[in-house]
Amino acid sequence: METFGCQMNVADTDRMELLLFQSGYLRTPHVEDADLVLVNTCSIRDKAEQKVFSLFGGLKPLKQSNPDLILGVAGCLAQQEQTALINRIPFLDFVVGPDAVESIQHIVQRVNQGEGPVIWTEFDSHKNYSIPEQPLIKNPGPSAFVNIIKGCDKFCSFCVVPYTRGREKSREAEEIYAEIRQLVDKGAKEIILLGQNVNAYGKRGLQQPLAFHELLYGVSEIEGVERLRFTTSHPMDFTPELIQAYCDIDILMNHLHLPVQCGNNRILELMRRSHTIEWYMDLIEQLKSKVPDIALSTDIIVGFPGETREEFEETLNLMEQVKFSSSYMFAYSPRPNTPALEMADDIPYEEKQDRLQQIIQLQNRLTKENGQAFIGKEVEVLIESTTSRKGMSFKGRNPHYWSVMFKGGEDRLKPGDVARVRVEETSGHVLRGSWAANRRRSARGEL
Ligand code: SF4
């Protein structure tokens, strides 16, 4: 199993692994040993698509030498391309969209019975994730993703998600709580609630109506959940109650990923983002006034159709103002089926790359400045794994969602523990330091 793209895809792959395990499949790290290769794909950018085609180019000789090997594509590229994928990769056995996750056993069974290629790209607006009937097959690790809403109703003009994942569908809270209890029983300490537009949770379709902030309060009461996060949010669905939740819920970590996409109102309108820069900055100010040390990250696209140099420079200004701790940064590429496809992609490649390099350089400086503020301080780290890189022993994350590597405590600590770490240096979005003690202060690690 190979996954491209976002955390939703990672969670979908985990879910398919669980279901396929129940059909008798076990994951192998060696593709030569596999009876089934499943690639969960992304179509948000052209580059992610090209990687998938190149991966299947490499798998062709395996299929030729073993015709029984089942090759399947799942996820957003499958949903977008459907039968066209079979034309391009004729040796595929199945092509299934994100809504087919729950049906993966049935699809593989059909291929095993000789049917093929199987194409399944229906949107099933009624079906959602159920909780696993059988126990989880593997330890989820200290940090676990939980899908709470799928799809998106926002229809930003550059984005394929509403076309590949369908309309928003929230999951009943009781199912979410039950899955979280299972994960905690298996050792998870941190829960990351997932959705393409996670804070639209509960806006429609729930039998038991519940707002997103109410769900957060509910999850925070589950025994054993020590840290809580959510991603990805939309500024227009950010309510005052959600800001208040940051103050009330001790285990809600002080980091927020809030995509802004660009710093100019005309481009935001063309992007159909439905918010202005003023709206976004007001939200940031409200948040900072209630949670002064909240770390903020974002998504930025440069070179959107028609973006002038001056409009691009407003993005640089916005980044300077907010001082994001990190950003996902991209040069615009036209995506199939999206409204922006109708607009002339008129920014030359070299200009897009130049703008991209400028925001990367600026973000690198902002990240460095944000990181230096931790030097000499102690941070609480949820240990995710051991490491031997750069003379360090453990790695994990602090409440602000910085990656932290540290040495010390080898005979006392293990993954899943929360350790206090004195930060000594920073490199990129990584803090490095030494174990101070594993004594706890507050869930957010405030001194
Ligand atoms: S909010 Fe916009 S960018 Fe985000 S998933 Fe929905 S359509 Fe795409």
Ligand 1 pocket, residues with Cβ under 6 angstroms? 152, 154-156, 159, 161-162, 196-197, 234
**Numbered ranges of CATH 3.30.750.210 in the chain:** 135-253
Report DSSP state, residue 173.
Answer: H
pLDDT digits (tens, 9 = 90+) for 213-234: 999 999 999 999 999 999 999 9
Structure tokens at 409: 């405590």
Q: What is the pLDDT of residue 272?
A: 97
Of 239, 260, 291, the residue nearest 399 (C-alpha):
291
Do 147 and 194 contact (CB within 8 A), yes or no?
Answer: yes
- pLDDT above 70 (res 41): yes
Q: Tell me the C-alpha distance between 432 and 425, whole Å.
A: 5
Q: Is the alpha carbon torsion for 190, 195, 198, 204 positive or negative?
A: negative
Q: Tell me the C-alpha distance between 226 and 242, whole Å.
A: 19
Tokens 């409440």 belong to: 399
- pLDDT above 50 (res 131): no
Largest CA distance in the chain: 63
- pLDDT above 80 (res 438): no
Q: Tell me the C-alpha distance between 278 and 267, whole Å.
A: 14
- pLDDT above 70 (res 250): yes
Tokens 């006392």 belong to: 412
- pLDDT above 90 (res 404): yes
Alpha-carbon Rg of the chain, whole angstroms? 22
Q: Which residues contact 350 (CB under 8 A, 6 or more apart)?
A: none
Q: Tell me the C-alpha distance between 163 and 300, whole Å.
A: 21
Average pLDDT over residues 326-336: 94
Atom of ligand 1 nearest to the CA of 162: 7
Q: What is the pLDDT of residue 123?
A: 74
Of 390, 374, 389, 387, the residue nearest 436 (C-alpha):
374
- pLDDT above 90 (res 421): yes
pLDDT digits (tens, 9 = 90+) for 262-313: 999 999 999 999 999 999 999 999 999 999 999 999 999 999 999 999 999 9
Q: Tell me the C-alpha distance between 409 and 282, whole Å.
A: 43
Domain 378-437: CATH superfamily is Nucleic acid-binding proteins (2.40.50.140)
Structure tokens at 110: 């059909």
- pLDDT above 60 (res 145): yes
Where in 171-223 does DSSP place strands (E)? 190-194
Do 91 and 71 contact (CB within 8 A), yes or no?
Answer: yes
| Alpha-carbon 356 to chain mean position | 21
Pocket test for ligand 1, best of 45, 80, 159, 273 (most atoms within 8 A of CB): 159
Q: What is the pLDDT of residue 18?
A: 87
CATH numeric code, 256-372: 3.30.750.200
Å from CA of 124 to ligand 1 middle = 20
Whether cis (ω within 30° of 0) applies to the bond prior to 334 is: no
DSSP 61-116: HHHHH-TT-EEEEEEHHHHHHTHHHHHHSTT-SEEE-GGGGGGHHHHHHHHHTT--
Q: What is the pLDDT of residue 447?
A: 39
Å from CA of 338 to ligand 1 middle = 11
Sheet containing 94-96: give its strands across.
2-3, 36-41, 70-75, 94-96, 118-120
> Among residues of the chain, what percentage have pLDDT more than 90?
76
pLDDT digits (tens, 9 = 90+) for 345-393: 999 999 999 999 999 999 999 999 999 999 999 999 999 999 988 889 9
Average pLDDT over residues 177-188: 93
Q: What is the pLDDT of residue 443?
A: 54
Q: What are all long-range contacts of 107-116, with beta carbons under 8 Å and residues at least 24 apart? A: 107/72, 108/20, 108/23, 108/25, 108/36, 108/70, 108/72, 109/23, 111/70, 111/72, 112/70
**Numbered ranges of CATH 2.40.50.140 in the chain:** 378-437
SS (H, E, C) 244-294: HHHHHCCCECCEEECCCECCCHHHHHHCCCCCCHHHHHHHHHHHHHHCCCC
Atom of ligand 1 nearest to the CA of 234: 1
Beta partners for 41? 75
**Numbered ranges of CATH 3.40.50.12160 in the chain:** 2-120
2-120 classified as CATH 3.40.50.12160:
yes
Q: What is the pLDDT of residue 199?
A: 97
Which pLDDT band holds residue 136 (cuts at 50, 70, 90)? low
CATH numeric code, 135-253: 3.30.750.210
- Percent helix, strand, coil in the chain, to 5, is 40, 20, 40
Pocket test for ligand 1, best of 9, 44, 152 (most atoms within 8 A of CB): 152
User: In this structure, which residue's CA is closest to atom 2 in ligand 1?
Assistant: 156
Å from CA of 50 to ligand 1 middle = 22
Q: What is the pLDDT of residue 337?
A: 87
| Average pLDDT of the residues of the chain | 91
Atom of ligand 1 nearest to the CA of 159: 8
Q: What is the pLDDT of residue 372?
A: 96
pLDDT digits (tens, 9 = 90+) for 95-130: 999 888 888 999 999 999 999 799 988 776 555 544
Do 390 and 432 contact (CB within 8 A), yes or no?
Answer: yes
Å from CA of 119 to ligand 1 middle = 26
> Among residues of the chain, what percentage have pLDDT more than 70?
94
Residue 13 CB burial class (10 angstroms; 0-12, 13-18, ≥19): buried
- pLDDT above 70 (res 441): no
- pLDDT above 90 (res 440): no
